[in-house]
Every structure is written in structure tokens, then in C-alpha cells.
Amino acid sequence: MTESSLETQSRHYAVVARAIEYIRSNARSQPGLAEIAGEVRLSEQRLQRIFVQWAGISPKRFLQYLTKERARQALRQSADILSAALDSGLSGPGRLHDLMITCEAMTPGEIKTLGEGVSVGHGVAPTPFGNALIGWTRRGICYLAFCDGDEAVRQRELALQWPRARLSGDDAEALRLARRIFPAQPEPGRLHLLLRGTNFQVKVWEALLDTGSSQLLSYSQLAATVDAPQARRAVGSALAANKIGYLIPCHRVIRESGDMGDYRWSAQRKQAMQAWEAGRNAVSGCTHR
């Protein structure tokens, strides 16, 4: 993905997110393109063009993926998919794009030193879901937070995680990483994540990495995958503690009812992520692995 196309997707995100929110809120009435375009104050042709450029498919096609029925259907299916994969000894039905996401947890001793002696790079880069602040060390990506004009707040949050580390800004490297995280076409490769959390939190995050792109699951289903079926509240706390957005796909977890649920970087962005993944799968005709 070129710099210009990634920036274009980032600019288009705000428009598309509003359209997605309207489609999902009015899914039962099956709104047409003219109605959706009127809601976002664009011509039908302009909205169609922006939508296709952002997602690869039209708003009408997106509507199939954004109803509560889709969420409920995904929940009914995901238990069987997950259990079959886990029972067969597989880690799960798929991973994000073609990237092999590997991770390494910090030790309690490393966390206690507050990053002393560590160099942390960071920078803001455009993504399909708006700008994001990305942080990394030599061991991998340690932070990814989406920004809504609050870059300074996100930078303070990153600094608080690493108060004794040497922080240095590098937007060019952040853009390079963003291109790898959000490629125009799935590309084979490897991204390494550096996880900072309790043993249980890390276990939950690793389980999420084994879910397939656009696969939704409930809190109880996720709790079952980490052998803690009664720990739905603790699973929710682990999701809330995640500081590496999108790559650790908390956006795929929804409530038992099929409702969207909360998300650190806004429910609107969460539903856009779910729709974007579903749209990319629809374009490719298969689940990215």
C-alpha cells in the first residue's frame, strides 16, 4: 500500500464509519444508497466511490455483514469452529492477513524496571481507521492506539508505560510499520509484539491472535478458550487492558446477545473494523490465513 493510498483510507474512514453506523442502526429497514448518502451529506456517486476505495465492496454489500443477525450467526458458528480447531490441536482457524503474529511477554522483573535501559520509538501514521500512534522496541511493537485528535494524550499514555525508557519520535518508521500492518494486499511476513500484562491477560491476548479475520466470538467463548469458562469478567478486564489495538483483535469480541459492546477506541471504530475485515474476506472469497 502506498503512502498516498493509506492516507486516503485514513481520511475516508470518518465518512465510512458514519455510513456504517447508520447502516447498522437501520439494518432492519434496509436503507438504500440514496438514504445513506443523505445521512453523510454526500452524493450517491461520491459515497459509493469512497466506500469501494476503503473497503473494496459497495455499501449494499456491506449491509450483509452489519446486521445483528450476522453477529448472532457468527456467534452460533464460532463455538463449533473454535472447538473443532482446538480439539484437533490447531491454534485456531486463521490469523490476521498473511502475517504471522508472534509475541513475547515481558517478565515481571522487566515490568518492574519501568523500561530502564530500553529505547522506545514512536510515531503517528495513517491507517484505514484514522491516525494511530505506534510504539515499538527492538523486540517488537508494544503499543498501537487510534487517535481522534488526542495524539498528545496517547503519547503520555505510552510514556507512562515506559517512564524510565528513552523515547524517540520517528513518524517515518511508524508509517513503514503501518504499511505492514494494513497492506493493500495480504503479504506474507512476520510481526513481533511485545506484551506487557499479567499471565492471564497475556493468555487472553494470545487466544485472540488465534481467531480468524472477521470471526466474532463472545466473552464466554473467549473465556472457554483460555480454560476459564467462569471468568468472563476477568476476560473483559483483559480486553480493556490491551494497549496494542487491531493487532490484538479485541474488536472481534461481542456480547452474548450479538450487540457490539464497548471498545477502548470507540464502538464506532470497532464496528468499522469488523466490517472492514468482513469486506476484505468477501473480496478475496476466502478467510485470510
Three-class SS state of 200: helix
Tell me the three cell numbers of residue 263: 471498545
Contact between 64 and 70 under an 8 Å Cβ cutoff? The reply is yes
Helix (H, G, I), strand (E, B) or coil at 256: coil
* Catalytic residue IDs: 250
| CA distances (Å), origin 99, targets 11, 186, 209, 232 | 25, 8, 11, 29
Query: DSSP letters along 12-32, please?
Result: HHHHHHHHHHHHHHTGGG---
Asked if 141 contacts 177 with a C-beta cutoff of 8 angstroms, the reply is: yes
Q: Do the beta carbons of residue 213 and residue 288 sit within 8 Å?
A: yes
3-state secondary structure of 255: coil
Whether 122 contacts 174, CB under 8 Å: yes
